[in-house]
Structure 1
Amino acid sequence: MQTKTHNRRLIALVAVFSLLAFAACGSNSKNSEADSSATTDTTTTKDSTGTEDSTTTQDTAGTEDTTTTKDSTGTEDSTSSTDTSSEGDTSQTDVSTTGQVCSETFKTNVGCTGFDDETAHVGPFTITMGGAGFIFIPNCVTLKVGQTVIFKVLGGTFLALHPLRQVCGPVPDVFFTNLDGDEFSVTLTNEHVGLFGLRCGHHGSSDGTGMTALLEVVP
């Protein structure tokens, strides 16, 4: 009786071990199937159409822009940025730029009926240019080659209102004053022989009308 019972227990244990072994085998088979499905995806270099994607990652936005010299019509813009409007202000140095003979019209309009004769002076001397009633005093003067003449324009308000300008004469830019000085010196030579026309920078005209004057230089 005991022997039969012992045999039954052995059979039951064998059956249990058999079931456990079968279960373990099934589990390993499933894991193997799972592993075999993890095949590497080799389609990562293809797009959705199956065509190889040739797009590069290189940034081409840094290409030099060659349209900067074109306007909106595609025509080359030749407009220059150089400012050509910087013409100098000659209001303070309105003098002749070339020697020129004073016209008969200028001499007539100045209206000299006679000239103050200053030819007897030896050595430097001064002529002071003043005025009244918009007339230079003196306004008609005779000088001589070899003299050194200091021309002085009354300072202060007079100089500001009546700067001296040369209109005509054998030599350009000899007789004029600016607001930063009220006198200048001239040594007369043979090249100065002739008539010099002067005017007020504000109240005289280049044709001799208004506040004007004549200087005559003789040999």
Structure 2
Amino acid sequence: MTDTPEPGEIDLDTITLSQSVIAVNDRPRAAADPAPRELSRREADILLRSYREPGGFSEAVRRLAMRHLLVLVGAEETGKRLGAIALLSRMSLAESTIRVLSPAATPLDLLSATYKPGRAYVLHDWIAARAERIELVNLARKLAELGSYLVITRNGAPSQAVEVEQSWHAPDPGELFDLCLSTYGARAGTGAEQLAAARKRALALPTPAQVVRLAAQLVRDAEPAR
């Protein structure tokens, strides 16, 4: 990956609530779809419409702004993918689109890649072997010189690269559920008891994706039949 391929734009005009939920919760497809692409600001805004910042988010914003590179590390399905987009949306950028890099990129690929000044880059679910600390530090220095930003997400435990890594945890499920209902619009047909029961169920769900799906399903079920 020594140069940046031409981007492929995504048509967002027909994205629905259910499609946006699917986009948020989609499992990684590193082997099936490794090609880089563009994530437009409009698509990012759709994905972030029901985003709940987890603990440590403000610190992550500060560290990304300072280092220009941040690796979010944690268990699977804790919101790292959407967290990366949310962090990049807080940066001052020359262009509003986010370049999505291939998860198959090696540390050498990332170091030798051509980055455009003032641009945002994201690499979800990095599948490469763990990078050496000096490689990530050098990558951060390169990005800082260009005024560009890169957020990488990786499953597992933190490494020795403490300068550019941050542990990531899921947001509070109850707060996320409430935000989803507010965003999607809880219908009048949803009774107070039904909402209370659904929220109690949300508190027991293990991942943010399941909380979002529960809230979306509750809203859809409350809509009158057409």
Same fold (TM over 0.5): no
Give TM class, smaller chain. Answer: under 0.3
Structure with higher strand content: 1
Task: Find the structure with the greater CA-based Rg.
Answer: 1
Structure with higher helix content: 2
